[in-house]
Amino acid sequence: MLRLEKRPSPSKAWNYATPVVAVLLTMIAGGILFTILGKNPFEAIKLIFWDPLFSEQFAAYSRPQLLVKAGPLILIAVGLSIGFRAGIWNIGAEGQYIVGALCAAAVALAFYPAESVLVFPLMILAGALGGWAWAMIPAILRTKFNTNEILVSLLLVYVAEKLLAAAATGFMRNPQGAGFPGSRNINQYASAANHEIFAGTGLHWGGVAAFIAVLFTYVMLQRHILGFQVQLAGQAPRAARFAGVAPARLVLMCMGISGAFAGMAGMFELAGPARLISIDFNAGYGFTAIIVAFLGRLNPIGIVLAGLLLALTYIGGELAQFMLNLPAAAIQVFQGMLLFFLLALDVLSNYRVRLFLPQRATTENV
Amino acid sequence: MDFGSINPVVLIASLMVAATPILLAAIGELVVEKAGVLNLGVEGMMIVGAVAGFAAAVTTGSPILGMLAAIIAGAAVSLIFALLTQVLMANQVASGLALTLFGLGFSALLGQSYVGIVPPRTEKLDFGPLSDLPVVGRILFGHDILVYVSLFVVAGVWYWLNYTRGGRVLRAVGENHDSAHALGYKVKRVRILAILFGGACAGLGGAYLSLVRVPQWTEGMTAGAGWIALALVVFASWKPWRVLAGAYLFGGIMVLQLNLQAAGYRIPVEYLAMSPYIITILVLVVMSSNRTRRTLAAPGSLGRSFHAAG
């Protein structure tokens, strides 16, 4: 019989190994899924994980896409990971991403068509502030009224989506757009556009921001007292109180940082790849970032790797959709399975699996 | 504002229909939370139930078989959550989120070939002349079977939790799993069964959406109903009859805002459509700001995982 024995402290080796094993298991399970869907599993897996980077036919287009997609994922996930470490669950990053983009669009549209170098920095600021403010709603409700931040932040995603629809069809609609929904094309407004920094790499300012955010978070967690407090509050909430950690301030800070990062990600996406405010502006980055944060073990460097990997599944998924007629939702299932396997395998880092052979009844057992 | 165009009898009858999906999901989640488990995957289980019920009903031509399929599908996906949190001791918050993300993708995959199809009609129960009574006839005797089933489930859960041995064991497990374990109750078995019941209820609630309420299959059609159901359990202070009251209140809000949309008031549709979510948040704030009531009502071991030493 198998039995679990709690480890005194989580196993370091398994902590690093589980993400890798989880990815491998997901590939196997994904292969089975693709077989059921009537596709060649090896071809599909190769198309998702290998061809976007190395095939001659697709790599020229796909490789830059990697940074385009990984940028927002990493930026959002690294912000979320701080809160997750402290047991503060902001799962409404999707909403903060939308509101950040709306605020940035408001700035851009207010200045249009004036050209100035100040527009772009102001948009970044507006995006960050918008996301921060949207995250402050659940944070303040949590600290003042003890309302569950998971439910509030998630419900606010739906509110933000309706706000986005109202903006795209109403107050931000392009006055010269012949009545079609959607704002002006911000990517064509020189002062506000978020272009590639080096042509052909896919790296735009969002990628740079993600890189800075990773460094910032790494230093904060390793070297700053706030990072220590985050770790303490997550691992031993009672001890944290005795150590003088103010829980309310920690909630405000963690939610605020993750909201601001998500809002910025929305801004860079708006001014770059998405080009304008439209009804379907949000592509689920805020939710996928939750998977990225867990797959990266809530560790900034791990999150970079996880973000690149999930970006790859997005690109490979699109490729498989195009080449094999694989449904778009299959890749979502794939990402969901990845999180399942990861959570399931975590048992190995927290527990030791012991084999117990059934013994003959002795007086001790009776 | 002029509410004159809204008929109160029709409003009550239709709010019962609008409330049934979240009522079913919430009463299932209530049992799960009473057992000390926080399953945030309600949204995922609902939408899998919605697509499974829809597919089965379209294939067999029978809405009842569709609903049975939804029950099985909801319970089946909740089994993943049970395995993760009860056997493999995974974090409940993360596992619930994973279930929701997985469920949304999985349902979209299953439902691809069912978009745009009209499901077989779910007939209203035949009460003969009773249905023709003024006012009461429409409200009490004018519904399909699931509206009555949902009321029956609420009553059953209330009775079972308070007046049966099994219900008391479940509550003991939820209040203090260490004591319950010391008394010899099978903590994990009770919790796994509770999770399966919650999954079955959520699945059925989802099928009601796709077969009766809408009735159609579209991707992501639950649109946060599962999260509202979760909020409803908090709103109800973990009491079955208050879940019913809360669900009908939310049903009323939803129907009212839909009526206002249809009546063409000057408020843009998007702002009216926000209202159920905003009101849910406001209600959550009011309910959770009262410290004594909250701490007394919530099950003691809610969200904590249990591992028997030795």
CB B31 within 8 Å of CB B244: no
Cβ pair B16, B248 in contact under 8 A: yes
The answer to which of A244-258, A279-293, A346-360, B179-193 has the lowest mean pLDDT is A346-360
What pLDDT is attached to residue B39? Answer: 93
Per-residue pLDDT at A7 exceeds 90: no
Q: Which of A182-186's residues contact partners 24+ apart within 8 Å by CB, and which partners?
A: A182/A276, A182/A277, A182/A278, A182/A279, A183/A105, A183/A109, A183/A276, A183/A277, A183/A278, A184/A109, A184/A112, A184/A276, A185/A275, A185/A276, A186/A105, A186/A108, A186/A109, A186/A270, A186/A271, A186/A275, A186/A276, A186/A277
The residue that leads in pLDDT, B267 or B173, is: B173
Percent of chain B predicted with pLDDT > 90: 44
The closest CB to that of A150, out of B40, B95, B291, belongs to B40
Contact A343 B90 (CB under 8 A): yes
The confidence band for B307, taking pLDDT boundaries of 50, 70 and 90, is confident
Q: Spell out the residues 6+ positions from residue B191 whose beta carbon is closer than 8 angstroms to its own.
A: B35, B36, B37, B82, B86, B173, B306
| Interface residue A4 vs chain B (CB under 8 A) | yes
Tell me whether residues B98 and A343 touch, CB distance under 8 A: yes
Hey, are the CB atoms on B284 and A294 less than 8 Å from each other?
Answer: no
Q: Hey, which residues 43-62 in chain A have their CB within 8 Å of chain B?
A: none
Backbone angles phi, psi at B174, to 5 degrees: -75, -35
- Distance between CA atoms of residues A265 and A122, nearest Å: 14
Quickly count: other Cβ atoms within 10 Å of residue B60's Cβ: 14
Optimal mutation site among A85, A143, A152, interface B, most CBs of chain B within 10 A: A152
Best of B43, B80, B89 to mutate (most A CBs within 10 Å, chain A): B89
How many other CB atoms are there within 10 angstroms of residue B184's CB atom?
Answer: 6
> Could you read off the pLDDT of A10-38 as tens digits, one per residue?
888 888 888 889 889 998 998 898 888 88
Determine, for residues A170 and B83 on separate chains, whether the beta-carbon distance falls below 8 Å: no
A32 touches chain B (CB under 8 A): no
Count residue pairs from A and B with Cβ separation < 8 A: 138
* B298, B238 Cβ separation under 8 angstroms: yes
Instruction: Give the C-alpha separation, A296 to A305, whole Å.
Output: 7
**Chain mean position to CA A150:** 16
Distance from CA of B47 to the nearest CA of A (A): 14
A155 vs B contacts (CB less than 8 Å): 224, 227-228, 231, 277, 280-281
Mean pLDDT of B176-191: 89
Q: With pLDDT > 90 as the criterion, what percentage of chain A qualifies? A: 33
pLDDT, position B5:
61
Cβ pair B21, B209 in contact under 8 A: yes
Please report residues of B whose CB lies closer than 8 A to that of A144.
Answer: 289
Which residues of chain A make contact with B224, given a CB cutoff of 8 A?
154-155, 157-158
A181-194 per-position pLDDT tens digit = 888 888 778 777 77
User: Residue B80 and residue A339: Cβ atoms within 8 Å?
Assistant: no
Q: Give contacts of A2 with chain B, Cβ < 8 Å.
A: none
Q: What is the pLDDT of residues A283-317, one digit of tens each?
A: 889 999 999 999 898 999 999 999 999 999 888 88
Cα B185 to chain centroid distance, Å, stands at 28
Alpha carbons A141 and B282: distance in angstroms, whole number: 10
> Which residue of chain A comes nearest to B268, CA vs CA?
A166
Token pair recorded at residue B306:
């249990």
Whether B105 and A336 lie within 8 Å, measured CB to CB: yes
Backbone CA torsion sign across A175, A178, A181, A184:
negative
CB contact under 8 A, B112 and A152: no
Q: How distant is the Cα of A151 from the closest Cα of chain B, in angstroms?
A: 7
The closest alpha carbon to B250, from B42, B8, B23, belongs to: B23
The Cα-based distances of B119 to A122, B212, B214 in angstroms read 51, 9, 10
Which residue in the set A146, A162, A330 is minimally distant from B109, CB to CB? Answer: A330
Quote the ipTM score: 0.87
Is A169 in Cβ contact with B270 (below 8 Å)?
Answer: yes
The amino acid occupying position A324 is L
* Mean pLDDT, all residues of chain B: 87
- Provide, as residue numbers in chain A, all residues whose Cβ is less than 8 Å from the Cβ of B80: 340
B303: tokens are 């969200």
Query: Cβ–Cβ of A158/B94 closer than 8 Å?
Result: no
Q: Which residues contact B154 (CB under 8 A, 6 or more apart)?
A: B23, B27, B240, B241, B243, B244
Please choose, from the candidates B67, B58, B175, B72, the residue with its C-alpha nearest in 3D space to the C-alpha of residue B120: B58
C-alpha–C-alpha distance, residues A328 and A319, integer Å? 10
pLDDT(A232) > 70: yes
Which positions 126-145 of A are in contact with B (Cβ < 8 Å)?
Answer: 141, 144-145
Q: What is the pLDDT of residues B37-51, one digit of tens each?
A: 999 999 999 999 999
Does A362 reach chain B within 8 Å, measured CB to CB?
Answer: no
- Rounded distance, CA B23 to CA B30, Å? 10
Measure Cα distances from B211 to A30, B34, B43, B67, B113 in Å. Answer: 30, 29, 17, 9, 16
DSSP A196: B
- Please tell me if residue A336 touches chain B, with a CB cutoff of 8 Å: yes
* Cβ pair B271:A162 closer than 8 A: yes
Is it the case that residue A361 has pLDDT exceeding 70? no
Task: Determine the pLDDT at residue A130.
Answer: 96
Alpha helices (H) in A205-299, listed in sequence order: 205-223, 225-235, 237-242, 247-271, 285-295
Distance from CA of B91 to the nearest CA of A (A): 8
Contact A6 B309 (CB under 8 A): yes
User: What is the C-alpha to C-alpha distance for residues B114 and A36, in angstroms, rounded to an integer?
Assistant: 18
User: H-type helices in chain B, by residue range?
Assistant: 8-34, 42-60, 63-82, 92-111, 136-140, 145-163, 165-175, 177-182, 187-208, 225-235, 240-263, 269-289, 291-297
Contact A347 B89 (CB under 8 A): yes
Which three-class secondary structure string do you get for B152-211?
HHHHHHHHHHHHCHHHHHHHHHHHCHHHHHHCCCCHHHHHHHHHHHHHHHHHHHHHHHHH
- Domain boundaries defined on chain A: 60-293
Residue in this structure with the two tokens 């978020």, named with its chain if needed: A194
- For residue B120, cis peptide bond before it (omega within 30 degrees of 0): no
Per-residue pLDDT tens for B258-267? 888 777 777 7
Q: Which of A165, A327, A340 sits opposite B98 (nearest CB)?
A: A340
The residue among B219, B192, B157, B196 whose CA lies nearest residue B73 is B196
Judged against a pLDDT cut of 70, whether residue B1 lies above it is answered with no
Q: CB–CB of A135/A90 below 8 Å?
A: yes
pLDDT at residue A158 tops 80? yes
Q: What is the pLDDT of residues A96-141, one digit of tens each?
A: 999 999 999 999 888 888 888 888 899 999 999 999 999 999 999 9
Domains of chain B from N-terminus onward: 8-122+130-297 (1.10.3470)
Q: Do A162 and B88 touch (CB under 8 A)?
A: no
Quote the CA–CA distance of A191 and A121 in Å, as a whole number.
10
The predicted structure's pLDDT at residue A364: 47
- Most confident range, picked from A89-103, B133-147, B270-284: A89-103
H or E stretch at A3: strand A2-6
Inspect the interface and report whether the beta carbons of A146 and B289 lie closer than 8 Å: yes
DSSP state letter for B144: B
Rounded percentage of chain A residues whose pLDDT exceeds 70 = 97
| Partners of A5 in the β-ladder | A352
